[in-house]
Amino acid sequence: MEQASGSLQSLWRYPVKSMAGEQLDASEVTDRGLLGDRAFALIDDADGKIVSAKNPRKWPRLLEFGAAFVDDPGRGEDLPAVRITLPDGTTLSSQQADVDAALSAALGRPVRIETADLGQRTARAEEYWPDLEGLDFRDTVTDFDLPEGTFFDLSVLHLLTTATLRRLTELYPAGQFAPRRFRPNLIIDTSEAAGFAENDWVGRTVQIGDEVQLAVTEPCPRCVMTTLPQGDLPKDSGILRTAAQHNHVNVGVYASVLRPGRARRGDRVAVR
């Protein structure tokens, strides 16, 4: 029985973990999410951990880097090169010989770029935990493991509704709740739905267009990344504070892929 409906407003892919991504008109949805999503990550040569904006003291400018594929990835083919744009506007290719040296110079620490591999060992990353009352950074940091063979934090897909963005804005009108703060893969226009609409989707199936089926697995807990400046968005601790006070620090939901296929902007979305 259909419980809710809407349409696919936009699709977002992040070729390099923790860098700004690219908005798409359509994408293949595979067992590992949008084709090419988090296909690459930077590795800290000093400790072997994944370079992540979740640790802003160590990597303060990572969200100012942009990444986009030079060609649309084809299913069953080798991924094309990624064009990386540095904060100063310089562009690099993931395939150029000196890409690691150039990225290391831009970040001020030795790093290397790698691709995700199903057979590789589990990767580790770091995260600073904010004080949710004042949202000032503590001096402690925790390590966490990524799912084996991937560069995802927890799940292959993140869904976010326009209803949730509207509700957050109502609760904190001074905040700029731009989607890129939350790095969703799929933004679903839920029209006149109110509140945190996708909270009720956990345990249900989402149908996108004629092909794609997703299983909504759990709410998506947010972190300090949502408060960081990027582009014209200022640093704003109120973004995370609002989610903490009104929705248990969650914004959006995670999903796994039940049936792969092609998703297109404007596709009808049905929740059952």
- Domain with residue 208: its CATH number is 2.40.33.20
What is the rounded distance in angstroms from the CA atom of residue 262 to the CA atom of residue 1?
23
Tokens linked to 102: 């150039």
The number of domains in the chain is 1
CA–CA dist 32, 260 (Å, integer): 9
Mean pLDDT, range 219-241, rounded to an integer: 93
Q: Higher pLDDT residue, 80 or 133?
A: 80
Say how far apart CA 21 and CA 44 lie, in whole Å: 21
Share of the chain above pLDDT 90, in %: 77
DSSP lists the bridge partners of residue 128 as: 141
State how far the Cα of 148 lies from the Cα of 154, in Å rounded to an integer: 10
pLDDT band at 138 (very low <50, low <70, confident <90, very high): low
The torsion region of residue 89 among left (phi > 0), alpha (psi -120 to 50) and beta comes to left
Range of the domain at 137: 4-271
Give the global pTM.
0.92
- Among 188, 143, 132, which residue's Cα sits nearest to residue 164? 188
Alpha-carbon distances of 138 from 56, 126, 132, rounded to whole Å:
12, 14, 10
